[in-house]
Structure 1
Amino acid sequence: MAQHIRFIASLIALSLCLPTLLSAHDNPLRTLRAAAVNNDDDDGQHGSVKGHVVTQDGRPAAFVTILVKGTDPSTRTKGTTTAEDGSYQLRHLPVGEHTLVVSFVGLQTLEQAITIQPGQTTQLDLTLQETARQLDEVQVRGYKSANQVPVSVGKVAIKPMDLPQSVAVIDRDVLDRQQTLRLSDVLMNTNGVYVMGTTGGYQEEIAARGFAFNSSNTFKNGARYNNSAMPEISSLERVEVLKGSSAILFGNVAAGGILNLVTKKPRFDGGGQVAMRVGSFGFYKPSFDVYGGITQHVAFRLNGTYENSRSFRDEVNGERIYVNPSLLIKLGNRTEFLLEADYLKDNRTLDFGIGAINYAIPDLPRNRFLGTSWGYIRTEQASSTATLTHRLTDAWQVRATGSVQRFNNDLFGTNRPNASNQLIKTNGDWVRGLQRTGINETYWIGQVDFTGNVSTGRIKHTLLLGADADQYRTNTTAYNPLAVYDTVNVFNPAKFRLRQDIPTLTTRQLTEAPINRAGVYVQDLVALSEQWKLLAGMRWSYQQTSSTVTTLADKKATTATTFDDAFTPRLGLVYQPRQTTALFVSYANSFAVNTGVDIAGNALPPSFINQYEAGIKNDLFNGFLSANATVYQIRNSNLAQTSLQNGNTNTNIKELAGEVTSRGLEIDVKSKTMQGISFLAGYSYNETRYTQSNTFVVGSLLRYNPNHTANASVFYTVQRMGFGKGVQLGLTAFYMGERVAGRSTRVTVANDAYRLIPLPAYTQLNASVGYVKTRYAIRASATNLLNALSYNVHDDNSINPIAPRQVSATLSWNW
């Protein structure tokens, strides 16, 4: 961990030193500081310009340089780069005529005159030509629809309209308007992707289409991210979701989809923000975000936050620190180098909720806490990512990424209720034991992608060729548990005198679990005509999984290693009867590595999962509204379950005798802003059942997955001139349908005591209001206005109630 802290410190120091190293005569930081004074566009002397830059074929032009031409000291160093969706903004420009110089590798440099009006933001959307001929005019286009903006996690710039797969993107504007704090808040906007549990109160377990996401399904800037800690939302530019199988791109991932967190990127236009958020239960959170150009070729960004909070749960509190520096260096007309890092320290009270009594949730107050006040979960997480992008020609690009991540976790406190055969009795008495676990994990990944466009006659190809390799080194330290610490009554905490001392638990065993993976893949989007497009690809993956368990008392160790490889194909067909409508069908295959051995003692082969998907995507009303619908079936027809041969009862001896089938429907609607109004909505239906099993009841539902989810958000911004201009209103509704937890009934056990726990459906209603000006913003939000009650449950031993009604307010200052 120390090396990550030194790395972040070095990066910050480099950001401060580069002006002196790279510019002996001109100090742009002086200009940035000068520009920070009196930069309110409402002063009648200044204005702004914003818009989108696209290429000739309508694709977003990311990282395009936009500079203000001239020798006026107030504008000479003014500039910015476009974001990955092609958007840009230049603030605090003097009123009058200016010339924007727009340039990027492989695209014709453009000079465009612009008139800045006092106190106004001018909309200027630009199209850059890819030919060498002189431009005669500038094409003006509106904002792109949700079906036109590619997602970066797809590795190649394919518009969602051309992709035979369901895609969802939640951008920064929605995150700000809704005042999102946790990933669960973000996922209220993504139907079919949901939080399935909040074990211990320190993580949010995610699932989609009936399949749980693990760390292999969660990404940050395209690199795998350990989701055992709650990610920091304030640092995100957007959240991307690719639903369904993405095994061809990333190898061993669950079938439900992948989630990519995209952090804020460096910008050449100087600016920043400081903010303070306060809320219910003693919550407060200061944050900052600073960015700017160090030279014409180097830009930086640094954002961070501190958070301190109590909880609606008695004796529960949390504290976290986060910092996210990044640096962008333009090494030439064709090459860019992006360096990103982040560090998170999260400490909070260990809270496994209220537990179940005979597989039923007891009627307890929402604030009832059954753990110890000194119990804790302490997490440190740091990552460093370097990305080198080089345009080989106007048509071909290579991108190389290397990333390293460290994750340390120390958990110490009471056992989960009902764990270790210490069940909560009918009268509420529960014998509490103690547990402790330590996790130390290091993760490395390197990947190279070649992307390009070629033509074979009249047929056009968008190609992706790539390779990746990654390693996990996970060491888990288990401690000797304390079977009996004390006894508590869940209905009457005053019934027993509770212990407050902190015993010392000795270490018991160390489990080392290295994973080595590698893969190569190729994918081609073939435009057979304007109407027909074919997406085809194949990936070969190799994975080596080991486990060494060492008993620390006698240093005895046992080691097991498995080797797996798999081919995972992808095939999809898109028909576009017109530019605004696309119908698609697709097939994809993924695999899941199995633990345990077969009846002969051999390692189990991986399970292969087949997914079929069909849908329609529409851009309606001249692109104002995107409306998409998808149906799917996902089937794991060789699910590993305990072998029943020869009366076997060893759960480590398994056979591929089970089958799980997931079927569903998803509907997504998203609008652009018109007259200050925008909205998004969605609905999903999913049914995931055991369709074949030698262990559980055939036809029974898999746990944690709701049959129905729905969401709707509407936003309004006052646009008329006057004091009311800048007022923002928002309303969000989220529905989580009925689902089950507990433990699935086993048909192989006579008089099996296992039972499923039905969880009630609920609707959460959130509201937000804001007043947003150029230099400051005041926002307030209220969540769970109806004070709905439901639970996030893992098995029958971590039953955490959802938060009640809460309010918060944020004041931010921009420059």
Structure 2
Amino acid sequence: MSNKIRLIALFILTSTSIIAQNARLAGSVLDARRKPVTGVNVRLLELKKGKLSDEAGQFSIPSLPSGTYTLQASYVGYKTLQQSVTLEEGKTLNLALELLETATDLKEIVVMGHVSQNEKPVSIGKLPIRPMDLPQSVMTLDRTLLETQQVRSMSDVLMNTNGVYIMGTTGGYQEEISARGFSMGSSNTFKNGMRYANGMMSELSGIEKVEILKGSAAILYGNVAAGGVLNLVTKKPKFNFGGEISLRSGSWGLIKPSIDLYGGLSSKVAVRLNATHEQANSFREGVRSERFYVNPSLLFKLSDKTELVVEGDYLEDKRTPDFGAGIINYKIVDVPRERFLGVAWSYMNQNQSSITTSLTHRLTDQWTIKLMAGIRNNGFDLFSNARPNAGSFVSEDGRWIRNLQKANARENYGIAQVDLAGTLHTGVIKHQLLVGADSDYFNTVTQAFNQFVRYDTINILGPNPVAKRVDQPAMTPFTTTTAPINRAGIYVQDLVHVSEKMKLLVGLRYSYQQTTSELYTYSTSKTTVSTNFDGAFSPRFGLVFQPTKSHAIFASYANSFALNSGVDINNNALPPSLIDQYELGIKNELFKGMLSANVTAYRILNNNLAQNSLINATTYSYVKELVGAVQSEGLEIDLSTKPVAGISFTGGYSYNETKYVKSNTYIEGSLLRYNPNHTANIGISFRHNGWQAGLTSVYIGERFAGRSTRVAVANDAYRLIELPAYTQVDFSLSYRIKHFIVRSKVANLGDVLSYNVHDDNSVNPITPRNYSLSLTFAF
């Protein structure tokens, strides 16, 4: 691999050595459906130089002197844009100009990265609807922000959001995301619109932007949790040649070379390749990680109206599982932050590969059809000590009998989806219509092993807690579970422009799912098979009132469903739980669009939560009844500005309370675990003459882990663990001179200590203060 990287670097250095040192302006003009716009006049007013965008929407103005100029983009029937741009000697400034639909049906050209939050349509929404017209909270974290912050993990990304946060990092090999009090599993996380398995650490080097659609998305994607959905959008091929090569190093031996290459193979075919290899130790002694990622993609312009994107994605991750120190008497154990208490030879190996194709065809100027299909294969292989307090509690004097655990799983996933979107008029009323259907399948095979009991004994409080035993014993298989899931859905959604000031969003989805479980037990050589069939309707209603073009008030209702495992007392499969979601908010574009200020209030209510059945005093965990209720209520405030004198600001605050309002098992009114009542974030970035700096801060309020107290169990020993609030601050700085960029970052500037806790058996301290430095050659 290293020889290939050296050859690529030599080729690039040779090719770029002949580039003139004059500046160059290039880019593309696309409409809201990501289609090229021809004939847009792109000019630099002070230099009186310009070019028209070609049939591919591309433009290029070479041989320009460095300096700051006024960019003007104009075309008959569209609002003229004027935007300040800075050109540097020997550098090509690439711009992506997007054509957005306004409330008055005119078109507006804006520079991506300088568009307010209320004007960035999200592809995860499937319709090019401005967030200002959408009765729902939307957030887009674009490439500029991700580069300024120098993100490396999903934890870094979510420092820029409120109401969406990391709820746990079980074993240190995953980042569990939660939104509005509900866990966002793999059904709620997407990459380019296709679900990806989020049980492993995400790789962000190939990501162009991150989209978050808070609240209900069941009408678009079926069986998703109530809190929202998250979509990673990868970097796409470009017809102009360019890219960058970088090397990042940092604390605890971090080494991460990366490449990003793109260009046109012909006038109809473009290609892009992102790849990286990362290896590092950890602030936890004996913990290591290594990963490899590659993301090739091809863009085919089959005709003026048809475009095909084919993309591969492969991630391999190997690391030492680390379940922390555990809990003694439901209190965090005071041990050195760097102390690792796992077995030295333990491992967690994960991989995920996928291929997606997306075909977009413009039927007319108003109608577009999009077909997406993809397959994914992912799996893990875990062999380590069992988690503290999982089968063997840590005693008060610190003694812990370590057991061993082993498991592996493989999942195959596939999806086919078709969406027809466009506009039509019934009299004077305009409709933005979406009609679609999807079908996907999962087939998961999980192998569990008999637990290896009493591997050894250590004292977690002692000066040298790790025992001498280092052998890796054999473990025998216990069960193999095969769980194929097939589901399909059809949906229709219509944004009705009742008037210039009033919009109505209505929609309905029907989902059908077949779930089968085949459990093979090795000790008895028997297979148990069960099959469930579930179907549910998911309606959606929303009303938007816009007294002016800069203000919008909205209210919405949506219904989603959650599938339930287990059976009732008559051994029948449980029906799905139906969840009602209400949202009310206001969106504002203040000071001529320089400041976006949004406020959202919501209530999410599951009135038929599945809980263990108490009829006839049964204690079997798989016998359940729909007798519980959970309520999530909250308020969110989001602020963001466009750049002013090179300075940008983002900030937000969220209050959330997720609690049991009815339960036969837990205390009514008690809070659900892992969810902070308060979260807040502030981000400030600065750009000027090649310099770029960013300060990002996140506040995570008090939250609970441990075990919720059970009212149905006499003298219940379960207790909650209160985790204190903390504030983390990161600082980044970079400087660009010609083709070279030097980036540096200090994370957790205040070296604060806090924990991510799963139940009472995986306690992972957050990373202490750490540093990174990278050098990039861009061309």
Q: TM-score, normalised by structure 2?
A: 0.91
Equivalent pair of 2:567/2:624 in contact (CA under 8 Å): yes
How much does 1:89 deviate? 8.0
Say whether residues 1:281 and 2:281 are aligned partners.
no
Say whether residues 1:656 and 2:630 are aligned partners.
no
Amino acid at match of 2:651: A
SS at match of 1:374: coil
Distance 2:143 2:445 in 1: 36
How much does 1:172 deviate? 1.0
Equivalent pair of 1:95/1:116 in contact (CA under 8 Å): no
Equivalent position to 2:227, from 210, 233, 256: 256
How much does 1:531 deviate? 0.2
Distance 1:282 1:566 in 2: 51
Amino acid at match of 1:441: E
How much does 1:46 deviate? 3.4
446 and 774 in structure 1: CA distance in 2 versus 1, 3 angstrom threshold: farther
456 and 35 in structure 1: CA distance in 2 versus 1, 3 angstrom threshold: farther
Which stretch shifts more, 725-734 or 329-338?
Answer: 725-734
Distance 1:117 1:141 in 2: 18
1:134 corresponds in structure 2 to none
Distance 2:230 2:108 in 1: 35
SS at match of 1:525: strand
Distance 1:339 1:381 in 2: 17
2:45 corresponds in structure 1 to none
1:47 corresponds in structure 2 to 24
Distance 2:98 2:403 in 1: 65
Equivalent position to 1:579, from 535, 549, 561: 549
SS at match of 1:419: coil
Equivalent pair of 2:38/2:53 in contact (CA under 8 Å): no
Amino acid at match of 1:47: R
Equivalent position to 2:749, from 785, 790, 809: 785
Distance 2:282 2:13 in 1: 40
278 and 561 in structure 1: CA distance in 2 versus 1, 3 angstrom threshold: same
804 and 122 in structure 1: CA distance in 2 versus 1, 3 angstrom threshold: closer
Say whether residues 1:812 and 2:776 are aligned partners.
yes
Equivalent position to 1:349, from 312, 320, 329: 320
Amino acid at match of 1:523: Q
SS at match of 1:281: helix
How much does 1:124 deviate? 8.6
Say whether residues 1:37 and 2:14 are aligned partners.
no
Equivalent position to 1:802, from 759, 766, 772: 766
How much does 1:94 deviate? 5.8
Which stretch shifts more, 142-151 or 537-546?
Answer: 142-151
Equivalent position to 2:607, from 637, 654, 658: 637
How much does 1:93 deviate? 4.7
How much does 1:129 deviate? 11
532 and 766 in structure 1: CA distance in 2 versus 1, 3 angstrom threshold: same
CA-to-aligned-CA distance 1:685-743 (integer Å, 9 cap, x gap): 0000000000000010000000000000101122xxxxxx2111211111000000000
How much does 1:92 deviate? 5.5
How much does 1:381 deviate? 0.6
Distance 2:55 2:382 in 1: 45
How much does 1:144 deviate? 2.8
1:173 corresponds in structure 2 to 144
SS at match of 2:767: coil
SS at match of 1:147: helix
After superposition, residues 604-643 of structure 1 pair within 5 angstroms as 604-643=574-613
Amino acid at match of 2:16: A
Equivalent pair of 1:309/1:317 in contact (CA under 8 Å): yes
Say whether residues 1:533 and 2:516 are aligned partners.
no
SS at match of 1:185: helix
SS at match of 1:216: coil
Say whether residues 1:397 and 2:354 are aligned partners.
no
Equivalent position to 2:671, from 688, 701, 706: 701
2:563 corresponds in structure 1 to 593
Say whether residues 1:311 and 2:282 are aligned partners.
yes
Distance 1:293 1:463 in 2: 34
After superposition, residues 493-512 of structure 1 pair within 5 angstroms as 494=464, 497-512=467-482
Distance 1:270 1:389 in 2: 24
467 and 493 in structure 1: CA distance in 2 versus 1, 3 angstrom threshold: farther
How much does 1:497 deviate? 3.7
89 and 604 in structure 1: CA distance in 2 versus 1, 3 angstrom threshold: farther
Identity value in percent = 53
1:461 corresponds in structure 2 to 431
Distance 2:571 2:108 in 1: 67
Distance 1:717 1:432 in 2: 52
SS at match of 1:368: coil
After superposition, residues 107-186 of structure 1 pair within 5 angstroms as 119=89, 143-186=114-157
CA-to-aligned-CA distance 1:742-782 (integer Å, 9 cap, x gap): 00000011110100000010000111111023411111110
Distance 2:416 2:130 in 1: 26
Amino acid at match of 2:19: N
Distance 2:403 2:88 in 1: 68
167 and 492 in structure 1: CA distance in 2 versus 1, 3 angstrom threshold: same
CA-to-aligned-CA distance 1:202-255 (integer Å, 9 cap, x gap): 000000000001100000000011001111111100000000010000000000
Amino acid at match of 1:234: S
68 and 245 in structure 1: CA distance in 2 versus 1, 3 angstrom threshold: closer
Equivalent pair of 1:81/1:267 in contact (CA under 8 Å): no
Distance 1:78 1:334 in 2: 17
Equivalent position to 1:674, from 613, 637, 644: 644
Equivalent pair of 1:68/1:79 in contact (CA under 8 Å): no
CA-to-aligned-CA distance 1:160-211 (integer Å, 9 cap, x gap): 0000000011111111111111011101101000000000000000000000
SS at match of 2:364: coil
How much does 1:95 deviate? 6.4
1:202 corresponds in structure 2 to 173
Say whether residues 1:768 and 2:732 are aligned partners.
yes
Distance 1:581 1:93 in 2: 43
Distance 1:379 1:599 in 2: 38
680 and 66 in structure 1: CA distance in 2 versus 1, 3 angstrom threshold: farther
How much does 1:552 deviate? 2.8
How much does 1:47 deviate? 2.7
Gaps of at least 5 residues in structure 2 are 43-49, 102-106
How much does 1:808 deviate? 0.5
Distance 2:351 2:771 in 1: 29
Equivalent pair of 1:67/1:80 in contact (CA under 8 Å): no
How much does 1:625 deviate? 1.0
377 and 64 in structure 1: CA distance in 2 versus 1, 3 angstrom threshold: farther
Amino acid at match of 1:177: T
1:220 corresponds in structure 2 to 191
1:728 corresponds in structure 2 to 692
2:203 corresponds in structure 1 to 232
507 and 771 in structure 1: CA distance in 2 versus 1, 3 angstrom threshold: same
Equivalent pair of 1:217/1:257 in contact (CA under 8 Å): yes
1:298 corresponds in structure 2 to 269
Gaps of at least 5 residues in structure 1 are 1-8, 17-30, 70-74, 83-87, 131-137, 719-724
CA-to-aligned-CA distance 1:348-369 (integer Å, 9 cap, x gap): 0011111000111111111111
Equivalent pair of 2:39/2:52 in contact (CA under 8 Å): no
Distance 2:421 2:195 in 1: 21
Equivalent position to 2:405, from 412, 435, 446: 435
Equivalent pair of 1:327/1:340 in contact (CA under 8 Å): yes
Equivalent pair of 1:53/1:60 in contact (CA under 8 Å): no
Amino acid at match of 2:488: A
Equivalent pair of 1:39/1:92 in contact (CA under 8 Å): no
How much does 1:555 deviate? 2.8
Say whether residues 1:481 and 2:451 are aligned partners.
yes
CA-to-aligned-CA distance 1:274-298 (integer Å, 9 cap, x gap): 0011111111100000000000110
1:21 corresponds in structure 2 to none
Distance 2:753 2:523 in 1: 47
How much does 1:810 deviate? 1.1
Distance 1:200 1:747 in 2: 30
Equivalent position to 2:307, from 297, 320, 336: 336
How much does 1:33 deviate? 9.4
Distance 2:456 2:350 in 1: 27
Distance 2:120 2:563 in 1: 34
How much does 1:647 deviate? 1.7
